[in-house]
Chain A
Amino acid sequence: MGNEEAVFFSRVLTELTLSFHIIYATIGVGVPLMIMIAQWVGIKKQDEHYTLLARRWTRGYVITVAVGVVTGTAIGLQLSLLWPNFMELAGNVIALPLFMETFAFFFEAIFLGIYLYTWDRFKNQKRHLMLLIPVALGASFSAIFITIVNAFMNAPQGFDLVKGQLVNVRPIIAMFNPAMPTKVAHVLVTAYMTSAFVLASIGAYRLLKGSSHTYHKKALFLTMKLGFVFSIAAAIIGDFSGKYLAEYQPEKLAAAEWHFETEEGAPLMLYGVLADDEVKYAIKIPYALSFLAHSSLYSSVIGLDQFAEEDIPPLYIHYLFDVMVTIGMWMVGLSVSYLAGMWLRWRFISSKWFRWLLVLAGPLSIIAIEAGWWLAEVGRQPWILRGIMRTSTAATTSGQVDTMLWLFCGLYLILGIGSMLVLWRMFRRNPVEQEIADRRAEKAGDIKWTLK
């Protein structure tokens, strides 16, 4: 295998692993927070439905966490296996957050184990809820540290480059690079948003399939409220991300927006296709790109004309941008209309077609997450470490990457199908109506026993 092939297959394998891992990772970051909120509401209102919600979500969460952990281990090792030259260089500057991530993950793993096996152990329910805080914190901090590493790849700093050697390394400066605030915030908030909508999908699906239990209605209402808050936050942070790109990675912004010529008062292109270097069928929003980039309608936005051909990312990232932004906006609209409908008692929100739209919310959010990460990663090309190291020089020279690619394809297929089947069976065999009845019977039994 020539080295070009090794680079190509290394990229494909990394893309595959990341695309698969990110689904479980996103759920893994967001769902603990949702469980925490549900359990807290349950204690506060003394409403067993919310407690049961927390309990059932936790059961599903364990399955996704398991897949998240093992695929996370995979990507962690693949960084060194597929990109040894990159890790040799980057390890000198950005190893700190990677190392801290394992601590956060360790912390989460320990308390998740405790939380799972102590559901009825404490008299005071609040104590049990406290055990979830380290789980949620650990999950979110894992995301923060790993995103810091990714931010560093986009905006490397905290070292000097002398004759190809990194000197005068400042690990903390490297962590707090310019890409870090927007990236970290965006990743966290979209993880919470996606998790809320995924859980909302489940509630909506149960309602659609004939169950009219208040349990599902409460679940849907709670998750849609949370989804609304986080989707608004995601949109605002998305705007800040645009401003960051304009300042520090103008080529990424220009490629994503098909902004070819540097100009003042630049319009924002939405949709459209690129045929023979010409943009067709696009919606042009006048001045919007200037506003996105610099908060002013007339400011100048750097176009692709300022960059050498070999430094420009592939232009198809515009489609990824479209997908991400469209879904994001759709989610804001959907949750607003649902909440307004609940408030004003509009009837359409309990209609079949609207519930189907709610069911779609979860899968769509996951598609948006995928598009967003593809945009982030492909948009950084041709660099693996922007301005310092090209992807083509970072990869392994091993000749067996293609075989490994097939092996991992098989692995993800097994894990993907396995986890879905298990989740499906788990909740089908023990529907919520049944569990509520069982728990009541159990409680009644306890009381009888104490009276004796």
Chain B
Amino acid sequence: MDLEIIGITVLGVFLFGYIIVASIDFGAGFFNAYSALTGRQHILTKVIQRYLSPVWEVTNVFLVFFFVGIVGFFPKTAYYYGSTLLVPASIAIILLAIRGAYYAFTIYGGLKHRRYTLLYGLTGLFIPASLSIVLTISEGGFVQLERSGPVLDYWSLFTSPLSWSIVVLSLTSVLYISAVFLTWYSQKAKDWGAVKLLRRYALGWSLPAIITAAGIIVEMRTHNPEHYSRLLELWWMFGLSVLLFAGTVYLLWKRIAYGLAFALLTGQFALAFLAYGISHYPYLMYPHLTIYDSFTNEAMATALVIAFIAGLGLLLPSLYLLLRLFLFNKEYVQGNRDDHV
């Protein structure tokens, strides 16, 4: 297998990991704020905080991994994306920073105020929206190569139906992923009030999520016909993904096996993500940048892959320990233990 393919696979793993864990995090913040606004905070806050507290820092690391990794494996992306993303990425950083810091301030520092809860919830929507611009830009047509370097054409970006569809997709899927996961988590916590509410959210956001996802494929037909035709070639993967989606909804509807429902959801997104990735190949940014012309040298790529494998050897057991102690520990999840410093 090409080193290029290995490199992009490694990055894909991190990106997918980030999409799932960050969606749970962003959505949780939003639901928390929403329930505060509608006077139902007592139902959700406890279970959401118990999940978020030990893992919030880990979520951030997936993102750092991705952007450090992509510059490592494909240094030219720094030139193409770095120059063009200054504004959207800076906004995302600022929102992420405020969100992360104020989370710690409220949880550990006792800073409690409705204002922060609402701010926290809102950033959970704005961050995925601003990050999703990267995906839009990668479809091509928004970056002009000028003599001084690549320049982002904001006007065409903000007037393009594609970019707004992707923004909407990012929001609906964040809320859907999060609601399904939290339904399962609150069931483990035996918090039936929360289960009831979150299951309703999950079912409510399922249809918008799948419709907006399908909408993107339609948008692609006019925006990037080459990518569109490659997407259609992979129809069977998207078909499987839709089947998994139907499975999740069925289980939620029937109020059974929420854990399996979340597993199917992960499968659904993984398949769609993979199919999207394959159809995007070999471009990192249509039509300027492919994984081949932006790739680093062989020595560095080999070193990075070795570091990646060694790092995973260290991380997977640690992650397992974290999950066992908190996510899958009955005592902790049900709130019987609080050994916080």
Contact = CB atoms under 8 A, between A and B. Distances in A.
Interface string B63-104: 111011101110111110111111101110110111011111
Contacts of B214: none
A426 interface: yes
Interface in B270-309: 296-297, 299-300, 303-304, 307-308
Nearest to A96: B303
A109 interface: yes
A231 interface: no
A132 to B, nearest CB: 11
Interface stretch (B161-169, B231-239, B311-319): B311-319
Contacts of B39: none
Contacts, number: 242
B290 to A, nearest CB: 15
A400 B86 contact: yes
A69 B60 CA distance: 8
A398 B86 contact: yes
Interface stretch (A78-86, A203-211, A256-264): A78-86
Nearest to A85: B79
Interface string B41-63: 00000000000011101101101
B89 A91 contact: no
B71 A95 contact: yes
B63 A73 contact: yes
Contact of A66 (B76, B78, B101): B101
Interface residues of A, number: 82
Nearest to B67: A77
A429 B112 CA distance: 14
Nearest to B299: A169
A439 to B, nearest CB: 13
Contacts of A116: 54, 340-341
Nearest to A158: B299
Given A77-B89, A95-B75, A113-B57, A118 B325 contact: yes
A82 B86 CA distance: 7
15 contacts: A58-B341, A63-B109, A66-B104, A81-B85, A81-B86, A84-B78, A88-B78, A95-B72, A102-B68, A107-B314, A113-B54, A114-B321, A116-B54, A121-B339, A411-B97
Closest 6 CB pairs of A and B: A91-B75, A66-B104, A95-B72, A84-B82, A422-B109, A87-B78
Interface of A: 3, 55, 58-59, 62-63, 65-67, 69-74, 76-78, 80-85, 87-93, 95-96, 98-103, 105-107, 109-121, 134, 166-167, 169-172, 396-398, 400-401, 403-404, 407-408, 411, 414-415, 418-419, 421-423, 425-426, 429
Interface of B: 53-55, 57-58, 60-61, 63-65, 67-69, 71-73, 75-79, 81-87, 89-91, 93-94, 96-98, 100-105, 108-111, 148-149, 151, 296-297, 299-300, 303-304, 307-308, 311, 314-315, 318-319, 321-322, 325-326, 332, 337-341
Given A66-B103, A69-B100, A101-B68, 11 more contacts: A66-B101, A66-B108, A82-B86, A87-B75, A95-B296, A96-B303, A96-B307, A99-B308, A100-B307, A113-B53, A415-B101
